[in-house]
């Protein structure tokens, strides 16, 4: 049986992968599944750089609405005429795991293929992409609020590096996929280790591939990428990022995992009077650069990724991909 063909457009933040994905989806009759761990949150729009929704376009055709086992309807955001799934999935105060992303995304990909469209997975969250490309067996360990509070107290008392070292002692392989600067990932990995009594890495085994996949990475020189990051942060401030964060903090606790994202945490510090707005902007740029470097390090480990600089290169790869005979 032929596997569903899946095209992945990936790259670090501000690399232009969203624009690449949109143009390619238009050219190849595709629909987009977002692989971004931040755009899943409703109301968090500016710092997550969500694609702009077509305001006048309303979906009347039921074929774009997909029901899951929980009877929820996964309705896409329509941007430039192209359906984008896995955006605005949950409220910022709700938990959303990689296992949930994988389960929903698989259904969407198969549904897109059933309607004779091409599924494009577009984003920069490496674990989301790997969950689908490598069919990771994600541990279904339910979040434990009491345990997380204990772990968070440990961080507050001893620092994040202390917890990172404890995690590596429990699971040396975790350093390959859990960034030591990412408290959310470290806390989750510790939680899984402690609750399952097994190393987190053992519960993330690769299964048989679900899809026939082409991974295309968008590449820029480091200097160009950093300049793009600076420009994007400036645009976010002009677009009303401070106002967005004010609105969110009136409704949600600033201590939520969703609020720890780059762009939100720094503006929260500004609103709390801890730093000036200029300091917050500089900090967003600095933290975004660090995040981009971590993303690049993650993707470099996957030798299957075909790196390109121009849209025409991607078009050529996709045409070749579809002309090949399925194994």
189/212 same-domain check: no
Q: Tell me which residue range forms the domain holding 187.
A: 145-202
pLDDT score of 66: 60
Number of C-alpha atoms within 13 angstroms, CB side, residue 65? 8
pLDDT score of 266: 97
**Global pTM value:** 0.86
Residue 298: inside a domain:
no
Number of C-alpha atoms within 13 angstroms, CB side, residue 214? 21
Kind plus residue range of the DSSP H or E element containing 121:
strand 118-123
Rounded CA separation 311/187 (Å): 38
Rounded CA separation 75/62 (Å): 9
The stretches in the chain having pLDDT less than 50 are 58-62, 70-71, 325-327
177/262 same-domain check: no
Helix (H, G, I), strand (E, B) or coil at 292: helix
Rounded CA separation 168/49 (Å): 33
Cβ contacts of residue 263 below 8 Å, gap of 6+?
46, 47, 48, 233, 236, 241, 284, 288
210/66 same-domain check: yes
178/83 same-domain check: no
Alpha carbon 251 to chain centroid distance?
23
CATH number, domain with residue 242 = 1.10.287.890
pLDDT score of 175: 81
């Amino acid at each position: 049986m032929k596997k569903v063909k899946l095209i992945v457009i990936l790259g670090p933040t501000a690399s232009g992968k969203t624009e690449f994905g949109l143009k390619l989806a238009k050219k190849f009759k595709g629909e987009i599944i977002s692989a971004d761990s931040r755009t899943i949150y409703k109301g968090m729009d500016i710092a997550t750089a969500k694609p702009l929704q077509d305001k006048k376009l309303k979906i009347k055709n039921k074929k774009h609405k997909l029901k899951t086992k929980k009877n929820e309807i996964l309705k896409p955001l329509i941007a430039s005429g192209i359906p984008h799934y896995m955006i605005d999935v949950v409220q910022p105060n709700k938990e959303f795991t990689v296992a949930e992303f994988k389960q929903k995304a698989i259904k969407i990909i198969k549904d897109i293929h059933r309607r004779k469209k091409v599924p494009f997975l577009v984003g920069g969250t490496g674990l989301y992409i790997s969950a689908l490309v490598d069919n990771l067996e994600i541990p279904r360990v339910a979040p434990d609020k009491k345990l997380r509070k204990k772990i968070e107290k440990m961080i507050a008392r001893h620092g994040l590096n202390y917890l990172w070292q404890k995690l590596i002692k429990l699971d040396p392989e975790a350093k390959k996929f859990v960034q030591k600067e990412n408290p959310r990932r470290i806390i989750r990995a510790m939680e899984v280790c402690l609750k399952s009594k097994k190393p987190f890495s053992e519960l993330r085994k690769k299964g048989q591939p679900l899809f026939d996949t082409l991974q295309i990475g968008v590449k820029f020189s480091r200097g160009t990428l950093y300049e793009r990051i600076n420009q994007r942060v400036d645009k976010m401030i002009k677009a009303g990022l401070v106002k967005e964060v004010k609105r969110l903090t009136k409704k949600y606790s600033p201590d939520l995992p969703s609020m720890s994202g780059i762009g939100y945490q720094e503006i929260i510090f500004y609103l709390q009077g801890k730093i000036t707005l200029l300091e917050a902007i500089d900090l967003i740029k600095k933290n975004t650069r660090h995040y981009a470097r971590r993303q690049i390090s993650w993707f470099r480990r996957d030798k299957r990724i075909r790196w390109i600089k121009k849209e025409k290169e991607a078009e050529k790869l996709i045409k070749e991909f579809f002309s090949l005979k399925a194994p």
